[in-house]
Amino acid sequence: MKALWVVPLCFLCLLFTLGRAADSHLWRRPGGFGLGVVGSNAFPPSPPTLVNLTLVPSAAAKGAVCLDGTVPGYHHHPGFGSGADNWLVDLEGGGWCNDVGSCLFAIKGHRGSSNYMDKIYFDGILSEKPERNPDFYNWNRVQIRYCDGASFAGEGHDAENKLYFRGQRIWSAVMEDLMSKGMRSAKQALLTGCSAGGLASILHCDEFRALFPQSTKVKCLSDAGFFLDVVDITGGHAVRWLFDGVVTLQGAAQNLPKSCTSRRDATSCFFPQNIVANITTPFFILNAAYDTWQIQQALAPIRVDPKETWKACKFNRTACDSNQMQILQAFRNTMLNALQGFAALDKNGHFIDSCFTHGQIYDPNKWYSDNSPTIRNKRIATSVGDWYFDRSQVKTIDCAYPCDNTCHHDV
């Protein structure tokens, strides 16, 4: 089994990966950090499907390579029956690298090199079991592995440190490969992503739409990707500092939406709140109002809280005092306010629950089960399906914590 870098920090998007159930990965060194995905706390009673890795050798000639120069890869579970001509393409999450040190750390694992990638389990929105994934179970389901550290948006090369910032090229090369393998004939398509992959689905949604003829139904979804440009507990901007490093180091500015960069600085255009209202393709935002990654890394990261006054609260919601809870409720309000322009558009949908979590589409217990989180008695998977298939409009916001007793809290 390939080596893994494991640093327990916070729960992120759930991903059932061979050999890394309960893998929490933090790209970190003094002065730089990035966040990775974690696995499930335990596999569900019947194991999900194990899907082989497909590498894209032709990507090398296009310079479409991971941080270390290895070729990118993806996992594809073929569609069947009535879903054989439909495609769900998921962009894996896993944080970002914002300086040379954190990128050099990333190439020692699957976040920066396909040498460390292996088979993965598909579950939740990627499951082929109708009892776990009622609307998309028989579609072609693909997950594109994440190894560029910039939400598939970088363009550059650090020759001295032998680092390749080629996220945009990876996106293009993998799309080209999938189109050649049948996706060009899709009747319906859905682009999804979680965490850094959710941000990537926001950045690439209209590009995805442009791949298909107008007769193809195309929509996009972001899970736990609505990262806010918020003030941290010291009055600073911890996430802006992180994103500025990513955009600057990796040359992402040229690949960010022109509708934003024509009016704002490039770093601002890495924040979804400045992008989503201008996406022309129908889009769905799934996010926890108390996003644990953002609480831990945007509001109160250790670099701005050296005395760890927020440590207990960050990792146990019941340990938050009244002042801390007031800040968390203000964070929720900031998220809801940032969604207003997006939410006003009829084509879009959203599901904002009041859970302390980060990532809900891969975990069957959150996505679709008897005890999944609900708002107005409707589960996440049902809500997404209703929106995608135009069964009903879905613009759902939960009441404030602690009112929802259906949540699967991570902390």
The set of catalytic residues is 195, 291, 358
**Residue 258 and residue 92: Cα distance in Å, rounded?**
24
Omega cis (within 30) before 134: no
How far, in Å, are 352, 389, 405 from residue 57 at the CA level? Answer: 40, 36, 48
**Residue 176 and residue 191: Cα distance in Å, rounded?**
15
CA-nearest of 335, 343, 269, 350 to 298 is 335
Q: Identify the sign of the CA torsion 153, 155, 161, 162.
A: positive
Q: How many Cα atoms sit within 13 Å of 107 on the Cβ side?
A: 17
CB contact at 8 A, 406 and 365? no
Please list, in sequence order, all residues whose beta carbon lies within 8 angstroms of the beta carbon of residue 225, skipping any fewer than 6 positions away: 93, 193, 194, 195, 196, 197, 198, 199, 200, 201, 202, 272, 285, 287
Rg of the chain, C-alpha, whole Å: 19
Other beta carbons within 10 Å of 58:
13
Residue 176: both structure tokens together: 């080209």
Helix-strand-coil split of the chain, %, nearest 5 = 35, 20, 45
CA triplet 137, 142, 147: central angle to 5 degrees? 145
**Residue 286 and residue 360: Cα distance in Å, rounded?**
8
